[in-house]
Amino acid sequence: MTSFLALLPGHVLDDAKRPLFLLLSGFIATFLVARLNTRLTRRHGRSHLRIGSVVTPGGLHVHHAVFGVIAMVVSGTLAFALRSGSPWLELMALAFGSGAALTLDEFALILHLEDVYWAGEGRKSIDAIILSVTFMTLLITGLLPATFNSLGDHITLSRWVLVMLILSGVLFVVVCYLKGKLFVGTVGIFVPPVAFVGAVRLGKPGSPWARWRYGARPAKLERARRRDEGFHQLWERRKNRLWDVIGGKPHHVLSSRDGAQRSHDALLSGGAAEDPGGPRV
């Protein structure tokens, strides 16, 4: 462990970056253990890690995202309330990272309000994990200036010009997210030219931007669809194969999405929900 830490750049383990590094370490380690546990359970019916499912006496399966939320709430609250120094700050960062990993490992379940862990939609959890790791890694590597004053060592700009540059960068990142380019937007937080390129290019056809801006312009929507199809053929399938290596290949096929939506609407209206897929175990 000591030899590994010695290989890291000095600024990663300084007092300012050490909690963030431990947060990232806890995040990655917890995600790997959680995924390994679920994959072993799926293959063998039980996990050799001896981390079993938590089931209440009434038969309710408690997903590990619940423990993740609890860990984040407790560690986050203590970090604000105690304002303690080392080593407690590092321990709370480690706990928060572990809780975040447990929660985002089931991000797709939270998003769909349905158990899609081993369905194709479950890959959204891997998307969330990769985006989070990218975000934290870029923070640690120091691509984002620690303070605005640090920019003065490299360039001389008026305060207003600096503010305009920051606001324009934020705008480009928001546009990237609205266009459905989550990874590009996240990298663009730290590398503004990436956000600019993503913002000026066409959005994905199913994105909020496409619904707002391309609805009255069918030619532009068709261009976006063709480009997205080309991207899907070239990169999306490769990304899915990589995601399957990381998180496991989906094997569960969901019931009709329309039926699920009718069931959800019935619950919201107070009526009886029809289960289009029949009883679940």
Neighbours of 23 (CB within 10 A): 24
In a domain, 60, yes or no: yes
DSSP-H helix ranges across 143-256? 159-178, 182-190, 192-200, 208-213, 218-231, 237-247
User: Could you read off the pLDDT of 154-166 as tens digits, one per residue?
Assistant: 555 577 777 788 8
State the Cα–Cα distance between residues 253 and 156, nearest whole angstrom: 57
In a domain, 77, yes or no: yes
User: Who has greater pLDDT, 11 or 58?
Assistant: 58
Question: Is 84 strand, coil or helix?
Answer: coil
In a domain, 230, yes or no: no
Q: Do 71 and 102 form a contact (C-beta atoms < 8 A)?
A: yes
In a domain, 154, yes or no: no
What range does the domain containing 129 cover? 14-142
In a domain, 150, yes or no: no
In a domain, 80, yes or no: yes
In a domain, 36, yes or no: yes
State the Cα–Cα distance between residues 205 and 28, nearest whole angstrom: 32
pLDDT in the model for residue 20? 92
Spatial CA neighbour of 68 closest among 32, 40, 39, 106: 106
In a domain, 9, yes or no: no
Average pLDDT value for residue range 101-119: 92
User: Could you read off the pLDDT of 135-149 as tens digits, one per residue?
Assistant: 899 888 866 544 445
pLDDT bracket for residue 12 (50, 70, 90):
low
Q: What is the DSSP letter of 8?
A: S
In what helix (H) or strand (E) does residue 36 lie, and over which residues does it extend?
helix 18-44
pLDDT bracket for residue 192 (50, 70, 90):
confident
pLDDT bracket for residue 8 (50, 70, 90):
low
State the Cα–Cα distance between residues 144 and 257, nearest whole angstrom: 41
Name residue 37's amino acid: N
Q: Do 125 and 104 form a contact (C-beta atoms < 8 A)?
A: yes
What's the domain count of the chain? 1
